[in-house]
């Protein structure tokens, strides 16, 4: 890795809770198989869900899926294919809330799982901020490793767009 600074963004937070190897791969511009069924379904869900709401707002290194203002308060939303990845999605959304708070913007987060017709509110608190600070440090440690962490079978491997890269 060069001497340039790596910005930790929401995508790396997401991958951190799924697979540390994915953190290294994506941070080194080794993108997952874009023709993978799960990647295509995710794109389709993102494109076709919540069409009446504003799409994508970029702040710093983050790109939030949807946003709206309710009673004068900004609500940002992260749309995911399944609640199976709830923990990683929750931390990704918490990261976005933290990034907004650091810029003086107070917001509430909302996880959305359109295929399941579920929503979950996420609000930033000290516990989440502390966890995110630790995770950001660990992500930077992983990113600056000379080689990616060795592949490790986790429950997500079966549906991973990197599976062929790791296991062939």
More confident residue, 73 or 166: 73
- DSSP labels, the chain: --SSPPPP-HHHHHHHTT-HHHHHHHHTT----TT-HHHHHHHHHHHHS-TTSEEEEEETTEEEEEEEEETTEEEEEEE-S-GGGHHHHHHHHHHHHHHHHHTT--EEEEEEETTTTEEEEE---HHHHHHHHHHHHHHHHHHTSSSPPPP---TTGGG-TTHHHHH-
Q: What are the pLDDT digits (tens) for 5-47?
A: 667 889 899 999 999 999 999 888 887 655 656 555 555 555 6
pTM to 2 decimals? 0.82
d(CA 31, CA 19): 14
Q: What are the pLDDT digits (tens) for 135-163?
A: 999 999 999 999 999 988 888 777 777 77
Q: What are the pLDDT digits (tens) for 53-108?
A: 556 677 777 778 778 888 888 899 888 888 888 999 999 999 999 999 999 989 99
Residue pointed to by tokens 């991973």: 160
Give the pLDDT of residue 47: 61
Domains of the chain: 10-167 (3.90.320.10)
């Amino acid at each position: 890795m060069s001497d340039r600074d790596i910005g930790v963004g929401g995508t790396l937070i997401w991958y951190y809770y799924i697979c540390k190897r994915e953190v290294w791969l994506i941070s080194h511009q080794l993108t997952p198989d874009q023709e993978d069924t799960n990647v295509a379904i995710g794109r389709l869900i993102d494109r076709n869900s919540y069409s009446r709401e504003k799409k994508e707002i970029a702040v710093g290194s983050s790109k939030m899926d949807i946003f709206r203002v309710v009673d004068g308060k900004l609500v940002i939303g992260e749309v995911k294919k399944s609640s199976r990845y709830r923990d990683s999605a929750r931390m990704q959304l918490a990261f976005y809330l933290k990034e907004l708070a650091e810029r003086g913007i107070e917001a509430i987060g909302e996880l959305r799982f359109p295929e399941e017709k579920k929503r979950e509110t996420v609000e930033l608190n000290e516990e989440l901020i502390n966890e995110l600070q630790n995770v950001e440090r660990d992500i930077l440690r992983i990113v600056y490793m000379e080689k990616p962490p060795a592949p490790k079978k986790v429950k997500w491997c079966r549906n991973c767009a990197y599976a062929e890269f790791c296991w062939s």
